[in-house]
A = this chain, B = another copy of it.
Amino acid sequence: MTPLKNDRLLRALLREPVDVTPVWMMRQAGRYLPEYRATREKAGDFMTLCRTPELACEVTIQPLERFDLDAAILFSDILTVPDAMGLGLYFEEGEGPRFRHPVRDQAAVEALPIPDPEEELRYVMDAVRTIRRELDGRVPLIGFSGSPWTLATYMVEGGSAKNFAIAKGMMFDRPELMHALLAKLAEAVTAYLNAQIAAGAQAVMIFDTWGGVLTPDDFKNFSLAYMERIVSGLTKESEGRRVPVILFTKGGGQWLEAMADSGADALGLDWTIDIGEARRRVGDRVALQGNLDPCVLYASPEAIRRSVAKVLESYGSGSGHVFNLGHGIHPTIDPDHAKAMIDAVHELSRPYHQ
């Protein structure tokens, strides 16, 4: 493999010195980009885009052609694992993801196979390999998965949920069944992420999109415990470098201390926490990734620049910060506004690294 030309991301995730703060955006390969919409159109539907390595590679690289980003992130969906377990993922227009076969009883949980990542999920690994070849060392590639709890909510509900009535109902009424499901998912996700690392992912991120809808105790028992299990089972090094692990629980600002003890190298933050305050709370245990309010990108470039400056100032001097939005970029954002943010991060962060 070509050596990395820009390793700011990997260095910052391990709290090693950098020249400027690295920056990337959750959903940077997404609908706000006209070139993404064109490829998506060409693919026909969303899952074909995910399942065709050349097209997944194309959209992964697109934002790097426009912006001075410090990382690429694999284009895929968090629901590939449950799909590979045989749940039959499909997308209904305007309805979000759905599963043909929700998992609601013991028999269904027991019947779930652990997918072989190089078989049922080979299209993801092929995408990773294709993207790495195409990136040619330009920036590191981040692999990812949904967290067990987050995947379980979709699997039990049969799709997106408003109140998580069914998933939480199972958690409260049959905790042992929910634990059995989560244990299987932790095993499947560990294998999935390790396969991504073997295929070329240089950092991995676990998206715990729905951990924040739990009470603190339920979060620890039903979400964090399984993310910890995954972290401890991940390949620590690849191509002679450590592979950093990022945990991101949306709405998880209240549990940062517990998350910082998970063994992960970095925590993603949404925008409802002050990043300086978060840094004081986690100390030097982990790096932090975030956390501009994604709605700031609706404002003028001047307002965006001011908001970037504020996040950088709040984090303060030294490494350990990867700039990002606090959530995925919204589909109606003007790409020039994303550029204003990215350029401001590099320009305004230099003094903090001297």
Residues of chain A having any CB pair with chain B under 8 Å:
163-166, 168-169, 172-173, 212-218, 251, 253-254, 271-274, 277, 293-296, 298-300, 303, 307, 310, 330, 332
Contact = CB atoms under 8 A, between A and B. Distances in A.
Given A254-B253, A254-B273, A330-B163, A169 B216 contact: no
23 contacts: A163-B294, A163-B330, A165-B295, A165-B330, A165-B332, A166-B298, A168-B293, A168-B295, A168-B296, A169-B295, A172-B296, A172-B298, A172-B300, A173-B303, A212-B272, A214-B272, A214-B293, A215-B272, A216-B272, A216-B277, A251-B251, A251-B272, A254-B272
A212 B173 CA distance: 29
Contact of A271 (B215, B300, B303, B307): B215
Copies assembled:
2
A332 B330 CA distance: 31
Contact of A164 (B163, B172, B295, B303): B295
Given A165-B332, A215-B293, 4 more contacts: A214-B272, A214-B293, A215-B272, A217-B310
A324 to B, nearest CB: 14
Nearest to A295: B168
Nearest to A303: B172
A241 to B, nearest CB: 34
B173 A299 contact: yes
Contacts of A215: 271-272, 274, 293
Contacts of A332: 165
A32 to B, nearest CB: 12
A216 B274 CA distance: 6
B295 A172 contact: yes
A215 B295 CA distance: 11
A307 B169 CA distance: 13
User: What are the 7 tightest A-B residue pairs by CB atom distance, in nearest-first order?
Assistant: A172-B299, A168-B295, A169-B298, A172-B303, A173-B299, A216-B274, A165-B298
